Homo-oligomer: A and B are copies of this chain.
Amino acid sequence: MNVSLFMTPLETRPALLSGAAAVVIDALRMTSTSATAFANGCAALYAVREVEEARALRASVPDALLGGERHGVLIEGFDLDNSPLSFSRARVAGRRLIMTTTNGTWAITGVAAARRVLLGAFVNASAVARALLDERSVVIQCAGTDDRLSLEDVLAGGAIVERLLALGAQAHLDDAAQAALTLWRAQGSDLHAALRDTHHYNVMLRGGQRADLDFCLRTDVLDAVPVRGADGWFTAQ
């Protein structure tokens, strides 16, 4: 298995995705939230880049809920923001979700050329690794923030790499995947400490989102792995 890791969406090129399984990571918060939605019984999830695309898609799927954020908060007229705490069983069980966020859904659409697309985070790292074991080519796509590296996404990528190796994968890691693994091994045991001085962590702290940080910075608490289907909708692996 070849494992490549892209630290930002800038590195994504279709040729690098050909035949690969791509794991998109936006640990704070979109992919953590997506795994949570499926753990709570959501039926399917569709990721779009633009708010207007989300509204247009809902016009053809009127029972769907609209979720996501701009500038970290609820979008006008949307049903749900981007907090995993909002995606409770009561809200999402059996429902379709249409999501648009500032970085996560951009990263997802950026890897559209991959053969498979999965959504990963700390919360489902081991489950993602298990879902990748038979792959020959894995691309870990970190969402980052505005085309800059976000340490939490790289650390979550390192966690998935570490789990793959622990499961016995014979993996050849590119330089970036090796770096992510080293970072995870150095810092994964205390994610709040690792992220204390990072950009997005502090944006969320200032925004009163400590509960979301506590939720998202737990490892291996969910088994749900969102996987893109042939129709573009994600369902739970």
Contacts and interface: CB of A to CB of B under 8 A. Distances in A.
Interface of A: 7-8, 10-11, 147-151, 154, 173-176, 178-179, 182-183, 185-187, 197-200
A29 to B, nearest CB: 16
B183 A199 contact: no
Contact of A183 (B11, B150, B183): B183
The binding surface of chain A is classed by DSSP as helix
A65 B186 CA distance: 45
Given A179-B183, A186-B186, A147 B199 contact: no
The copy count of this chain in the complex is 2
Given A10-B11, A11-B10, A147-B11, A182 B186 contact: yes
A178 B202 CA distance: 14
A103 to B, nearest CB: 13
A11 B185 CA distance: 26
Contacts of A174: 148-149, 199
B198 A175 contact: yes
A149 B199 contact: no
For the complex of A and B, the 6 pairs showing the least CB-CB separation, nearest first, are A151-B175, A10-B10, A149-B176, A186-B186, A175-B198, A149-B175
Contacts of A187: 182
Contacts of A151: 175-176, 178-179
A179 B155 CA distance: 10
B178 A197 contact: yes
A169 to B, nearest CB: 15
Nearest to A13: B147
A14 to B, nearest CB: 14
